Chain A
Amino acid sequence: MNAKKAAAKPARGHPRKAAAGAKSRPEAGIASIDELMAYAYALELEAAERYAEFADAMEAHNNREVAELFRKLARIENRHAEQVLEEMGWVSPPDAPHGGYKWEGFEAPESGDVTELHYLMQPYHALQIALHNEKRAHAFFGSLVKQARNAKVRKAAQEMEQEEAEHVRLIEEWIKRTPKPDADWAIDPDPPVLAD
């Protein structure tokens, strides 16, 4: 995942930062760079927290290989969240917009679905979850590009969209390097169900 970590983030002084402080109009969609980046921060942080929970769950079931992979994904997403803070010059996490974050689904688009876990899952499955999350994040920023009502926000959202597209590509490459599970991967010779 080092390649993903290396995904370029704009340096300080970028238009995203320069436009910070523009008036926010949540009722009209994301209208300021501050608000957009608050969304980006929340998205990355929630993803990091969820991957950490996934890692804990896998450790509890002694699936150490997948636990370590989720731990790595959590570190990467945490770093992305920190990068948002650094880029914006924020010394503390931003406040949520009035009324809270409005996501298209139940949760932030990079947050993995808890019900997709399986105690016998393999790294390939974990990466499929990550790929799905990155694709949703890509689509999320894509929709912000379409909804943006000012050029600066649109440009910043486009950059975020491009970054997420890069993340998608990197995860896809990672998946190519990862062994595909056998068809019977979920078969447990000592299953957790009462039989006979």
Chain B
Amino acid sequence: MTTATARPTVPISARDFKSDYNPIWCPGCGDYSVVLSFTRAFASLGLRPENTAVVSGIGCSSRIPAYLTSYGFHGVHGRSLAAAAGLKLARPDLTVVVASGDGDGYSIGGNHFMHACRRNVDMTYVVMDNHVYGMTKGQPSPTTEPDWNSKLSPGGTGVRTFHPLVIALAAGANFVARAFSGDPSGTANVLVEAIKTPGFSFVEILSPCVTFRPEQREWKNAVRPAPVGTTNDPARAARYIMTDDGFNLGILYRGERAPYQPPMGRGNKQPADLEKGFAI
């Protein structure tokens, strides 16, 4: 494990990672359970709040740093990965986890997603996928089914869905997994493995939006453990992921690529020194 996991002098529990703020999401939202999974995973790893940073963008899912006791950064739309990469490269001792949603992560931040996979900085990217823009009242997102009929997309968009796990794999993510918010312990276990795996780990969490997609309540009956085990063969993983129906859960790929971590200076330069470097 390349993240900060110094053994705490006082054991820390999942509850210690919860902040004093009560989550404000729609009742029934799957994201409530994701908070639980984060806290359980952090506690299970023996992390300390002062050595853990949760970075997010914009959207319902990106509210999560406020509900955790750790360092947090609520960034701009789609740019959470850029902020997180900078943080991790400057402070490799921190455990950096990024929280996003399918709109923030795959549309507005889609380009960052691909290049973060390619760059393979040691951090964990969690995308809470509910196939809709919830915060902005239910517009179709990149993972919305093409025939999803709504007032904002009458008859459906007719646009094929983005396939995040395959994209992550093709772009070079070192760890690819799918979890379900309704299984907080299972999700926590996946997060533990994602954080422990060096490099860029991508975890898609199916997290129902019961307000705009009430039919997603049935996801709990659709998900099941993936019938295949974890592989380190990207071609095999790609074949499997391309043909699954989006409801197979588990760690589908774990590679062995070394993370990107350039040597960093001490960071003690003054602004005037930096300016000299740009002088023509």
Query: Are A and B physically bound partners?
Result: yes
Q: Which residues of A contact B30 (CB under 8 A)?
A: 114-115
Inter-chain CA distance A115–B208, complex, in Å, is 8
Inter-chain CA distance A118–B214, complex, in Å, is 10
Inter-chain CA distance A194–B133, complex, in Å, is 12
Is B25 an interface residue when CB atoms closer than 8 A count as contact? yes
Cβ A115 vs Cβ B217 within 8 A = yes
Is A53 an interface residue when CB atoms closer than 8 A count as contact? yes
Across the two chains, which residue of chain A brings its CB closest to B189?
A100
- Chain A 42-67, CB-CB to B under 8 Å as 1, else 0, gives 00000000000110111111010000
- Chain A 116-146, CB-CB to B under 8 Å as 1, else 0, gives 1111010000000000000000000000000
Q: Which residues of A contact B32 (CB under 8 A)?
A: 53, 57, 114
* Contact residues on A (Cβ < 8 Å of other chain), bracket: 20 to 34
Total residue contacts A-B, CB cutoff 8 A = 72
Cβ A194 vs Cβ B27 within 8 A = no
Inter-chain CA distance A113–B184, complex, in Å, is 11
Across the two chains, which residue of chain B brings its CB closest to A103?
B185
Other-chain contact of B27, A118, A193, A195 (Cβ < 8 Å): A118
Q: Which residues of B contact A121 (CB under 8 A)?
A: 27
Other-chain contact of A118, B24, B28, B185, B220 (Cβ < 8 Å): B28
Q: Which residues of B contact A54 (CB under 8 A)?
A: 27
Cβ B22 vs Cβ A60 within 8 A = yes
Across the two chains, which residue of chain B brings its CB closest to A106?
B183
Instruction: Please judge, given known A-B contacts A56-B23, A106-B182, A106-B186, whether A115 and B152 are in contact too, CB under 8 Å.
Output: no
Cβ A115 vs Cβ B28 within 8 A = yes
Cβ A57 vs Cβ B27 within 8 A = yes
Of the listed residues A54, A58, A193, the one surrounded by the most CB atoms of chain B closer than 10 A to its CB is: A193
- List 13 A–B pairs whose Cβ atoms lie within 8 Å, in order of A's numbering: A56-B22, A57-B22, A58-B27, A60-B24, A63-B27, A113-B182, A114-B28, A115-B210, A115-B216, A116-B28, A118-B210, A192-B26, A192-B211
Please report A residues at the B interface, Cβ cutoff 8 Å. 53-54, 56-61, 63, 100, 106-107, 113-119, 121, 192-196
